[in-house]
Amino acid sequence: MTLGLFDDLPPSPLPPEVLEPGAMVLRGFALAQAADLLQAVQQVAAQAPFRHLVTPGGLRMSVAMTNCGKLGWVSDRSGYRYDRMDPDDGQLWPPMPALFKRLALEAAQAAGFEGFAPDACLINRYAPGTRLSLHQDRDEGNYAHPIVSVSLGIPAVFLWGGAQRADKARRIALVHGDVVVWGGPARLRFHGVLPLREASHPLTGAHRINLTFRKAS
Ligand code: MD6
Ligand code: FE
């Protein structure tokens, strides 16, 4: 039963979950835009298809990736880098949709980072069984800017480690619409994603889509 007293109030956002200073999870922050975000992902992927990059060590990554924005993150036998061009076709990456920029700015702001203007959006696609091993994000020119990471589709368990690869990692459940923001003292933390469990989501089927926004230049 409800008394009706609060029926006119908008749903109040959940308070951010602080992982440590500079790092937090904004539950459901992207939920209202999720369908539009996924439609934009499809448009990006029509121009720059998802592909499995090769690591410098020669291993095929199980996560499929594409990019939008001025710069795209790529990996090949020569290393990791940001590039203005899609190496598959020599074209510029598709532009970053205005909706993406706005969401990244607002999420960063909600986490205490003002004026975030990403120039790179890496789009990761996971199928069940796909994982991302522990890594640091250190290919960007400038660690002063935060990273904003948006989870869409089926759930994942995010690993939140420490400053060293061997540090014990916490397990954080991320679901459709959750946004993780980190920067400042937490910017170079090790992190990863456990192998995804079999699942299905009405908007993505058997996939998880992750958008990570960076200021790479
Ligand atoms: C993922 N994310 O959630 C992988 N990196 O699919 C990342 O590797 C990541 O979420 C830097 C900042 C946020 C992230
Ligand atoms: Fe990362």
- The pLDDT tens digits for 58-74 are 999 999 999 999 999 99
- Residue 2 pLDDT > 70, yes or no? no
Domain ranges of the chain: 17-214
- The pLDDT tens digits for 147-165 are 999 999 999 999 999 999 9
Residue 155: both structure tokens together: 């759930």
| Weakest mean pLDDT among 2-11, 98-107, 117-126, 138-147 | 2-11
Enter the CATH code of domain 17-214.
2.60.120.590
The whole-number pLDDT of residue 126 equals 98
Q: Quick one: which ligand is closest to 145's CA?
A: 1
- The pTM of this model reads 0.93
Beta strands in the chain (DSSP E): 17-20, 23-26, 64-68, 72-76, 79-83, 120-126, 132-135, 147-153, 156-160, 170-174, 179-182, 191-193, 208-214
Q: Which of 65, 149, 174 to mutate to test the pocket of ligand 1 (most atoms within 8 A of CB)?
A: 149
**Amino acid, res. 90:** G
| Residues with CB in 5 Å of ion ligand 2 | 137
The alpha carbon of 149 and the centre of ligand 1 are apart by a number of angstroms equal to 6
